[in-house]
A and B are shown apart, each in its own frame.
Chain A
Amino acid sequence: MSARPATVRVAGGQGFWGDWLEAPYRQVTGGPVDYLMMDYLAEVTMSILQKQKSRDATRGYATDFVDQMERILPTLVERGIKVTANAGGVNPRACAMAVADVARRLGLARKLTIGVVSGDDLLGRLDGLIARGHDLQNLDTGRPLHDVRDRVLSANVYLGAAPVVEALQRGAQVVITGRVTDTGLTLGPLMHAFGWPRDAWDRIAAGTVAGHIIECGAQASGGNCLSDWKTIPNLAAVGYPIVEARADGTFDLIKHPGTGGRIDVAGVTEQLVYEMGDPRGYITPDGVADFTTIQLSQVGKDRVRVSGVRGKPATDKLKVSIAYFYGYKAIGTLVYAWPDALEKARAADRILRQRLDALGLKFEAILSEFVGANATHGPLALQDIDAAAIPEVQLRVGVRSPDKAAVDRFTREIAPLILNGPPSVTGFAGGRPKPEEVVAYWPALIDKKMVEPSVELIEA
């Protein structure tokens, strides 16, 4: 066993699939880091990837990740930087094979070991689980999965840091996972590097908090930050956040020198409360973190220290993210100009609804928003302003229905309003809106003992 490091740096490289393509490269070249963490999976992503895999068994992972690896692998190998990424989606092995191909093409054959973490995909096991009494009740509604079983598109359990640690211990330099929690991708490297035991609950909680802070990329370093946002420097070259951790579980949030953005207590606090539930019980597969114990202090320019984090033992459950086909939706828009822009848009909305009614179309929901007036703040937005003076308003009407024909007919009722509705209307260049399939999300819990993560190593 090699000597333990004094500090370990984990850099956040992607906050979601579609995040800034420049960020990973900048993180591994802009200064010293030990690990690069990349989060690719949102709930809906898994069902899209499952669909791709059903058409082509070699697909079903985040292809952008492979392009990123092509760009940064030489640097990773040269500097010994390790990567943890849940880019594997529903096919982590195929993702690893694609990265191995890239490595060979770059002349890095035999210089790269890739770890593959799987065991999260429950789609093929659902009927067996249900038969054995695991009814995978919806956490919000209490309904058993049986209700929508025939419409399920994907089912993945959230794995924690443990299999990531195992892959690193067995020598993987790049760890590609399926549905591993965002926080596990940061906690795993810290557990591995510092040798934290799985029941070191305070340090597990600290590593989880570290992961939560950097899992959304630049949202911790000045991006989407409301606090004094006008004074945040040079977001054009924003530095993504880096955790510089110590073995005792305290860590500093930093970014590379010379980069834009800002790391301050106010901004880190904003990220801490992002998507927060009960702050005393932030539950992950690895443990439970108490966010009311976190202490923040500004210890330098663009350097915030995080300490005091307390944790509790992990629960005996894991969360399962199930996606199922729900129905169809479509959204149509038209833009109305001054004078009386809002009044015209409201009139158009009334006319549209009368016509849908007259056609006898049934929708589960029709939602009308007036973008420029009330789409984001609802009735609160119109309290203190002269509505007649609003220069322009976009009418945005959405419908949702199990009946595709009804949604399709709705999409044909928008354009006619240009010539046969209220005046001063434009903005239909995009053409008729398209009905989209709606995939809904079914959160559930499963006993931990029913899930066996697996780790496989692939040599490039």
Chain B
Amino acid sequence: MKRQLVELAHARSGDKGDTANVGLIAKKAKDYPLLVKQVTAARVARHFRGMITGPVERFELPNLHALNFLLHGALDGGGTISLKTDAQGKVFSTALLRMEIEVKR
């Protein structure tokens, strides 16, 4: 069945220039492999289609049961240049938590 990431994970995001990062953290260690398998860089790039202009990179932190995503071209130039409300990418975190993944019953 499908479950929304917000039920399985929490997240925090920030910025570096025009790149937003999203750290996605499994609430329970046992769910981390599910995130690794399904929340791929390609899937995240599709999720944020229309919101970012560059590629998505993914890094694994198994020690923290976390994935780190870099969303390039997410911030309309970033920092002081950006016209966005979320110029510093603070809430890309919860936008990712809207994604649904497949979970065995």
Q: A226-B10, A441-B79 are in contact. Are A380 and B25 (CB under 8 A)?
A: no
State how many angstroms separate the Cβ of A340 from the closest Cβ of chain B: 22
Task: Identify 19 residue pairs between A and B in the complex whose beta-carbon atoms are under 8 Å apart, listed by A's number.
Answer: A43-B79, A44-B79, A224-B12, A275-B14, A277-B16, A277-B21, A291-B64, A308-B63, A326-B80, A326-B81, A329-B81, A367-B76, A377-B98, A378-B95, A379-B51, A380-B47, A399-B83, A400-B83, A441-B79
Q: Please provide the 6 A-B residue pairs with the shortest distance between their CB atoms, ordered closest to farther.
A: A273-B23, A398-B83, A275-B14, A367-B83, A270-B12, A378-B51
Which candidate, A142-150, A191-199, A293-301, is the interface stretch facing chain B?
A: A293-301
Query: Chain A residues with Cβ under 8 A from B25's Cβ?
Result: 227, 266, 269-270, 273
- Interface residues of B: mostly helix, strand, loop or mixed? mixed
Interfacial residues of chain A within 272-286, with CB under 8 A of chain B in the complex: 272-280
Question: How many angstroms from the CA of A83 to the CA of B50 in the assembled complex?
Answer: 46
Chain A residue nearest to B52 (CB atoms) is A378
The answer to whether A266 touches B10 (Cβ under 8 A) is: yes
State how many angstroms separate the Cβ of B38 from the closest Cβ of chain A: 17
Chain B residue nearest to A47 (CB atoms) is B80
Question: How many angstroms from the CA of A324 to the CA of B86 in the assembled complex?
Answer: 22
Cβ-neighbour of B21 out of A275, A375, A441 (below 8 A)? A275
Chain A residue nearest to B87 (CB atoms) is A398
The answer to whether B80 touches A440 (Cβ under 8 A) is: yes
Query: Chain B residues with Cβ under 8 A from A326's Cβ?
Result: 80-81
Query: Chain B residues with Cβ under 8 A from A224's Cβ?
Result: 12
4 further A-B pairs in the complex, CB-CB below 8 A; given A291-B61, A441-B79: A227-B10, A326-B80, A376-B85, A377-B98
The answer to whether B47 touches A396 (Cβ under 8 A) is: no
Task: Determine whether A351 belongs to the interface, using a CB cutoff of 8 Å to chain B.
Answer: no
On A, residues with C-beta under 8 Å from B are 43-44, 140, 224, 226-227, 266, 269-280, 291-296, 308, 326, 329, 331, 365, 367, 369, 371, 375-381, 396, 398-400, 438-441, 443
State how many angstroms separate the Cβ of B92 from the closest Cβ of chain A: 9
Bitwise, B51-89 to A at CB < 8 A (1) or not (0) is: 100000001111111101010000011111101111000
Question: How many angstroms from the CA of A118 to the CA of B33 in the assembled complex?
Answer: 47
The answer to whether A273 touches B21 (Cβ under 8 A) is: yes
Query: Chain B residues with Cβ under 8 A from A376's Cβ?
Result: 85-86, 91, 94-95
Query: Chain A residues with Cβ under 8 A from B23's Cβ?
Result: 269-270, 272-274, 276
Cβ-neighbour of B61 out of A266, A292, A378, A440 (below 8 A)? A292
The answer to whether A371 touches B83 (Cβ under 8 A) is: no
The answer to whether B86 touches A375 (Cβ under 8 A) is: yes
Task: Determine whether B45 belongs to the interface, using a CB cutoff of 8 Å to chain A.
Answer: no
On B, residues with C-beta under 8 Å from A are 10-18, 21, 23, 25, 27, 47-48, 50-51, 59-66, 68, 70, 76-81, 83-86, 91, 93-95, 98
State how many angstroms separate the Cβ of B69 from the closest Cβ of chain A: 10
Question: How many angstroms from the CA of A371 to the CA of B10 in the assembled complex?
Answer: 24
Query: Chain A residues with Cβ under 8 A from B62's Cβ?
Result: 292
Chain A-chain B contacts (Cβ-Cβ < 8 Å), number: 129
The answer to whether B80 touches A379 (Cβ under 8 A) is: no
Cβ-neighbour of A441 out of B47, B59, B80, B98 (below 8 A)? B80
The answer to whether A226 touches B94 (Cβ under 8 A) is: yes
Chain A residue nearest to B15 (CB atoms) is A275
State how many angstroms separate the Cβ of A221 from the closest Cβ of chain B: 14
Q: A272-B64, A296-B64, A367-B76 are in contact. Are A277 and B70 (CB under 8 A)?
A: yes
Query: Chain B residues with Cβ under 8 A from A226's Cβ?
Result: 10-12, 93-94
Q: A367-B84, A380-B95 are in contact. Are A227 and B61 (CB under 8 A)?
A: no
Chain B residue nearest to A375 (CB atoms) is B85
Question: How many angstroms from the CA of A277 to the CA of B85 in the assembled complex?
Answer: 23
Question: How many angstroms from the CA of A439 to the CA of B81 in the assembled complex?
Answer: 7
State how many angstroms separate the Cβ of A93 from the closest Cβ of chain B: 27
Query: Chain A residues with Cβ under 8 A from B81's Cβ?
Result: 326, 329, 400, 438, 440
Cβ-neighbour of A371 out of B15, B27, B63, B85 (below 8 A)? B85
Q: A293-B63, A296-B64, A440-B80 are in contact. Are A274 and B70 (CB under 8 A)?
A: no
Question: How many angstroms from the CA of A399 to the CA of B14 in the assembled complex?
Answer: 23
Chain B residue nearest to A275 (CB atoms) is B14
Query: Chain B residues with Cβ under 8 A from A275's Cβ?
Result: 14-16, 21
Question: How many angstroms from the CA of A409 to the CA of B20 in the assembled complex?
Answer: 32
Chain A residue nearest to B24 (CB atoms) is A273
The answer to whether B27 touches A227 (Cβ under 8 A) is: yes
- Which of B50, B84, B98 lies at the interface centre, i.e. has the most chain A CB atoms within 10 A of its CB? B84
The answer to whether B94 touches A438 (Cβ under 8 A) is: no
Query: Chain A residues with Cβ under 8 A from B65's Cβ?
Result: 269
Question: How many angstroms from the CA of A380 to the CA of B23 in the assembled complex?
Answer: 19
State how many angstroms separate the Cβ of A102 from the closest Cβ of chain B: 32
Q: A44-B79, A331-B83 are in contact. Are A441 and B17 (CB under 8 A)?
A: yes
